[in-house]
Structure 1
């Protein structure tokens, strides 16, 4: 038998496998690039805009923090709240009362408002253990309804129907910032920190438990998720974020009154979250912009019936973007990425 020269035997060339790294890196870089671009624009904006527009953007970020808490509850946990404006009001009045009656430094009002609203949210989470759906919605709605007359009743503390006027935070001399710019950067810092903390929470075991509970409570309980613990925790954290936003609201507005926190505020916040995108990263921010600017736009279009214009705009957005503005932006990004990859493949 002749020996076979193994070394000389031709071997099939290995099949080149596509390297998934470039695509994976592109997928990871897109959110980072988008976040960096948004932060860059946010830092430059107060130096390019008029003071009133700077104030509007600060208010939009305050609403975004409130919607971040509401999104944690509704979008990531599957609970519902029609009274989130009440927690926002409690945070605002806590800051106003602390600054007006107790001469509390404005920075110190955030932990006070956060602690009070956290306790209130935890207390509301207890009945939520036995309620769900429309029944839970009615309970939260009742809180938003009776809060306004309650605020009017304690004149000596809350100022009654006239409300409370407080001093705005004065920018430190070393910053060289105007008052509106300083308030804007305070709101921006609060917003960035809140988004980072919630993003970290959602990536942890807590976030996985909340998502499991949202998708299927029975399956989540079988897997060992403590439903009572995480439901109350979701309400508490959601209320805390609303309270923090309310505290910063008092700094920016320098005035609180019961009529500023009517039932329509809670409904508008929920509508803004749905329009922005439930359960999405950018939904609260887009919803905050919607809550701030769309009512003003509706008022400019028709001063006799701004509510009609506002409602029609919500219907139009829901028809064109069922998953919210954030979902629509994601679809556009995916379509653009697909077109770019397709163009590269044709080039090769």
Structure 2
């Protein structure tokens, strides 16, 4: 009787086909390139006011990018990012108006000031978390406005400061609104590239570990104090850079422009856009820019009511934010396309 021999093949790890990896990377890159190309063409097709609105949406997107780094990727709540935004705006305005600083030099200045401020705030925030941390950051946003009004010799007090808008170089052939738009666009693209590189590095993995489970992250050797303060500092830096570009675009700063409602609106915009997502800050920036003005047009007596109802509606229809909704739609569409191809074959 012949013996039956069972031949066991050695287990081998099957690597995903290179084509599938390329396919996964191709569509996000194509979508990103398409968005950038549309953004480059927009100021040549729109009237100046709409160009200004899109520039402001990009300014808010950079602010939300910093807030997303702190809240979405590190898990720390902040209700005071309007304060960092204001510090960056006032740093640029004071440097341009009082010290005749070239406007390009105000970006590193605003970045350095807000980075130091965020790092300083991150140290005491190490002992706080959750609602306690949110209250501390909210307190900063509350007392900043009267503080700006008090030092009127430097900040212009309640009247604020008016600065000269950056003039486009003659060789560009651009109008003033188009030049400011492209300054905002370049700042936005560079900020997103910087944060994307950070999140793909060891720093990004550490921030995600802190967000998911602080105790487990510490056991694995993550220095909680270092990465929490780093997240605060980089988040504040991005808000400060956005505030600097805001000063270029608006050419005016006043304390009332940075009331505590700005910080609340920024956090709401980030949640609506999508926490911890790539496109969340962009969609949130568009939401922060256009929805309040839409609410004002619908009901001038109570725009806050319309704004609040719109937030509730978006959260009901898209619990993971607009970016999550777009992802679900794209996955559904891709599934339908693949299903159609299979039926065709």
- Report the TM-score range of the alignment, normalised by the length of the smaller protein: over 0.9
Matched, 1:169 2:166: yes
Offset from partner CA, 1:76-129 (integer Å, 9 cap, x none): 000010000000000000000000000000000000000000000001101111
Offset from partner CA, 1:263-298 (integer Å, 9 cap, x none): 000000000000000000000000000000000100
- Tell me the distance in 1 between the aligned counterparts of 2:267 and 2:234: 17
1:178 aligns with one of 175, 178, 184: 175
| Residue 21 of structure 1: how far off its partner (Å) | 4.1
Instruction: Give the match for residue 208 of structure 1.
Output: 205
| Residue 199 of structure 1: how far off its partner (Å) | 0.2
SS at match of 2:128: coil
| Residue 69 of structure 1: how far off its partner (Å) | 0.2
Q: TM-score, normalised by structure 2?
A: 0.95
Aligned-residue CA RMSD (Å): 1.2
- Tell me the distance in 2 between the aligned counterparts of 1:322 and 1:93: 36
- Tell me the distance in 2 between the aligned counterparts of 1:191 and 1:37: 15
1:1-348 map, 5 Å: 20-348=17-345
| Residue 23 of structure 1: how far off its partner (Å) | 3.6
- Tell me the distance in 2 between the aligned counterparts of 1:127 and 1:82: 16
- Tell me the distance in 2 between the aligned counterparts of 1:20 and 1:321: 33
Q: TM-score, normalised by structure 1?
A: 0.94
| Residue 342 of structure 1: how far off its partner (Å) | 1.1
| Residue 26 of structure 1: how far off its partner (Å) | 2.1
SS at match of 1:298: helix
The count of residues paired between Structure 1 and Structure 2 equals: 332
Instruction: Give the match for residue 5 of structure 1.
Output: none
- Tell me the distance in 2 between the aligned counterparts of 1:168 and 1:129: 40
| Residue 319 of structure 1: how far off its partner (Å) | 0.3
| Residue 45 of structure 1: how far off its partner (Å) | 0.2
- Tell me the distance in 2 between the aligned counterparts of 1:30 and 1:329: 14
- Tell me the distance in 2 between the aligned counterparts of 1:80 and 1:128: 10
